[in-house]
Amino acid sequence: MKIERIELHLVNMPLVKPFETSFGREDREVHIIVKIYADGLIGYGESPVGQTPGYAYETGETAWHIQSEFLAPAIINREISDIEDFLKMTAPVRGHHFAKHGFECALWHLFSLQQNKPLYQLLGGTQKIIRSGVSVGIQKSIAELLGVIGDFLDEGYKRIKIKIKPGWDFEPVKAIREKFGDVPLMADANSAYSLQDISLFRELDPFSLMMIEQPLHYQDLTQHAQLQKQIKTPVCLDESIAGVAMAEAAIALKSCKIINIKPARVGGLTKAKQIHDLCQNNRIPVWCGGMLEMGIGRACNIALSTLPNFTLPGDVSSSKKYFHRDIINPEILFENGELTVPEEPGLGFIPDDAVIAKFTENRWVLSG
């Protein structure tokens, strides 16, 4: 197919409730929606960049620059027969995974529409029902945390993940276990600790957490390996797994027992699938994390989660958890913590241009 037109939309949407992690507190998401036109079809993608370079070095400004100055010019008026063509054309751009993911997701959408198949089938997915957990940010008090968790459990979510940071770790976990018993529970540190905190991690062992996610430095593998040797709780890596090579190294070093795969973090669905396959071959379970995506990015995560080694509930929850109105129709809705994967061609959900336009604060167009 020949790429005829590319649009970037900087979409600014308020969250239903502020979301706090060890990086800080967010009350809105500002993501880039990518539209690529080819052969009478439109493919949609999403770059779920942060507003600050906390989780990753990319922000809306950096991704916009890379997409408009480098990625779009590299493919406009070019024939692209498969995703590998796109990867070769944009290979001179190192890094900038969130920026690339938005473009690649749009191209996957185009190919699924062109072939009249749902995206998950193009990826090789086999699971027809996706189980979802839910991510709970840092709350003002333990009582408030327990109330939020209780509401999500009543909605049927299959796993609870809480964000932790120094001073908000042992006591919240203890309170959750006392209140809700053996509910599947994990803790996400977002690199907030060091090996000097080994005593804390040992204190958490008796609570039988599913995993502790990214406890140490975001670029580290060796210290995570040391930590995993000294605690019973499985270590899960997130930020440290920036690509396939890092996943290979983590497995070789035994830095973790579980890997969180986020397609935006690793540069797209293709790289995400490669990491999935690597982990499957090495019997490392994976799950799909989230970046508070709007509906387009969330739909891509759903498609990815149908691959067979996604055996743990992911963070792909209902639209209403984060947004008053999502940018797709129908909105994503998990019932009792489960979603039947859509069989319609494409994303399985239809992007709503009117809602995208309503929340767009900047727009850029490149035509052939």
User: Would you please indicate which residues are annotated as catalytic (active-site) residues?
Assistant: 163, 262
Helix (H) or strand (E) holding 171: helix 170-180
What is the Cα–Cα distance from 54 to 22, expressed in whole angstroms?
10
Sign of CA dihedral 222, 228, 231, 235: positive
CB distance 234 to 186 below 8 Å = no
Determine the Cα angle at 36 with ends 35 and 38, to 5°. 145
Q: Other C-beta atoms within 10 Å of 112: how many?
A: 24
What is the Cα–Cα distance from 255 to 247, expressed in whole angstroms?
10
Contacts of 70 (CB under 8 A, 6+ apart): 90, 93
Beta strands in 122-181 (DSSP E): 129-131, 134-136, 160-163
What is the Cα–Cα distance from 21 to 208, expressed in whole angstroms?
22
User: What are phi and psi for residue 258, nearest 5 degrees?
Assistant: -145, 150
Category of 346 on φ-ψ map: left (φ > 0), alpha (ψ -120 to 50) or beta = left
Query: Three-state SS for 335?
Result: strand
Task: Copy the structure tokens of residue 202.
Answer: 């040992």
What is the DSSP-derived secondary structure letter of residue 285? -
b/e burial code for range 168-184 (CB count within 10 A of at least 16 → b): bbeebbeebbeeeeeeb
